[in-house]
Amino acid sequence: MSHGDTIPLHPSSQSDIDEIENLINAGPATVLPAHPPSPQRASIPVSSSPFIPSNLPPPPPSAPAAAFQKAPTSTPPSVPAAESSRRGIAADGFGSPPNTLTEPVWDTVRRDLSRIVSNLKLVVFPNPFREDPGKALRDWDLWGPFFFIVFLGLTLSWSASVKKSEVFAVAFAVLAAGAIILTLNVLLLGGHIIFFQSLSLLGYCLFPLDLGALICMLKDNVIIKIIVVSITLAWSSWAAYPFMSAAVNPKRKALALYPVFLMYISVGFLIIAID
């Protein structure tokens, strides 16, 4: 019995684990029938819990059946495999949250990073042929904007020779307050935008300016700085344009877009001017 290293998810799943072990110990010939033929137990098979629609039972028996097929070959690994497949099915049966609590930290971090990268690709490199243009709007998150704002503040602070902490403070405050004020501006103009979604998009559109700040930190020539900042500024504005202009009435598009350009131009100027 290896219950010590498993987390009992639900009483009925615990009984299912007992059931699996009984079936394995009884031998493979009795395994194949579906769950209902164990009448002495009032155990609810995982796949037919009351929350699951009735069309679900066919897939799960095949997975335990496949797991049970492996049982005669090597018993100890099959028990955790069956349990993990059961746990996976149990988790899908009762909803996914228990799975994310028990998964390794690296999985969580990797999942968030992949979401940041996918949002970045959708927002900053908009592909006109992509299949789902609204995906970034639905899957918004605030980790990406947070990283980009802090990175920009740190880069500017490293580039500055004096008053480093004040430069970071000014950059962070301007960007954070600016994103909030821009969203409020769109809402006041009668536009339809969700507050945190807009914060998320404006944060992702800072990514080109991050690259520009990094290049300007490495190369200190004023002419190169001006060229690089102009290019990245145009890129940021081009990335932010579709979201902002779609949110308001077409007659007020310029009123909603002008503050966005103003904020990016002021950040661009800060990048050039920091020596």
Partner 1 sequence: MEEDYTSLPTSHLLGSVPAVAAEDKTGGAARESSTANLQNSPPANGGYQAPGSPYGGDEQATSSWKGACSISSYTPYFNVDSDIVVDRLITSVYPMNDFTRKIDGNPDLYGPVWISTTLVFMLAALGNCATYLMRKRNEPDIVWNFDVTYVDWAACVIYGYALAVPVAFYFLLQYVGCNASLIRLWCMWGYSLFIFLPSSLLLVAPVEIVRWIVIILAGAASSWFVALNLKAYTDGSDLMVLIVSALLLQFALALFIKIFFFV
Q: Is 113 in the site for partner 1 (CB under 8 A)?
A: no
Q: Is 251 in the site for partner 1 (CB under 8 A)?
A: yes
Q: Can you tell me the distance from the alpha carbon of 196 to that of 200, in angstroms, rounded to the nearest whole number?
A: 6
Q: Is 275 in the site for partner 1 (CB under 8 A)?
A: yes
Minimum gap (Å) between residue 151 Cβ and partner 1: 20
Q: Is 177 in the site for partner 1 (CB under 8 A)?
A: no
DSSP 140-175: --SHHHHHHHHHHHHHHHHH-SS-HHHHHHHHHHHH
Interface pick for partner 1 out of 184, 224, 227, 234 (rule CB under 8 A): 184
The residue among 26 and 254 lying less far from partner 1, judged by its C-beta, is 254
Q: Is 274 in the site for partner 1 (CB under 8 A)?
A: yes
Q: Is 154 in the site for partner 1 (CB under 8 A)?
A: no
CA distances for 146 relative to 100, 124, 151, 202, 234, angstroms: 23, 16, 8, 11, 22
The residue among 6 and 185 lying less far from partner 1, judged by its C-beta, is 185
Q: Is 221 in the site for partner 1 (CB under 8 A)?
A: no
The residue among 136 and 167 lying less far from partner 1, judged by its C-beta, is 167
* 8 Å CB contact between 148 and 206: yes
Minimum gap (Å) between residue 187 Cβ and partner 1: 5
Q: Is 238 in the site for partner 1 (CB under 8 A)?
A: no
* 8 Å CB contact between 184 and 238: no
Q: Can you tell me the distance from the alpha carbon of 63 to that of 69, in angstroms, rounded to the nearest whole number?
A: 10
- DSSP three-state, residue 226: helix
**How would you class 4 by CB atoms within 10 Å of its CB: exposed for 0-12, middle for 13-18, buried for 19 or more?**
exposed
Rg over CA atoms, the chain = 28
Stretch that binds partner 1, among 51-59, 69-77, 145-153, 185-193 (CB under 8 A): 185-193
Tokens of 206: 């800072």
Stretch that binds partner 1, among 37-45, 73-81, 138-146, 262-270 (CB under 8 A): 262-270
Q: Is 196 in the site for partner 1 (CB under 8 A)?
A: no
The residue among 22 and 266 lying less far from partner 1, judged by its C-beta, is 266
* 8 Å CB contact between 9 and 98: yes
Q: Within a 13 Å sphere around the CA of 45, how many CA atoms are in the beta-carbon half?
A: 18
Picking from 140, 148, 146, the residue whose alpha carbon sits closest to that of residue 123 is 140
Stretch that binds partner 1, among 85-93, 113-121, 231-239, 260-268 (CB under 8 A): 260-268
The residue among 238 and 258 lying less far from partner 1, judged by its C-beta, is 258
The residue among 148 and 264 lying less far from partner 1, judged by its C-beta, is 264
Binding site for partner 1 (CB under 8 A): 163, 166-167, 170, 184-185, 187-190, 222, 249, 251-255, 258-259, 262, 265-266, 269, 273-275
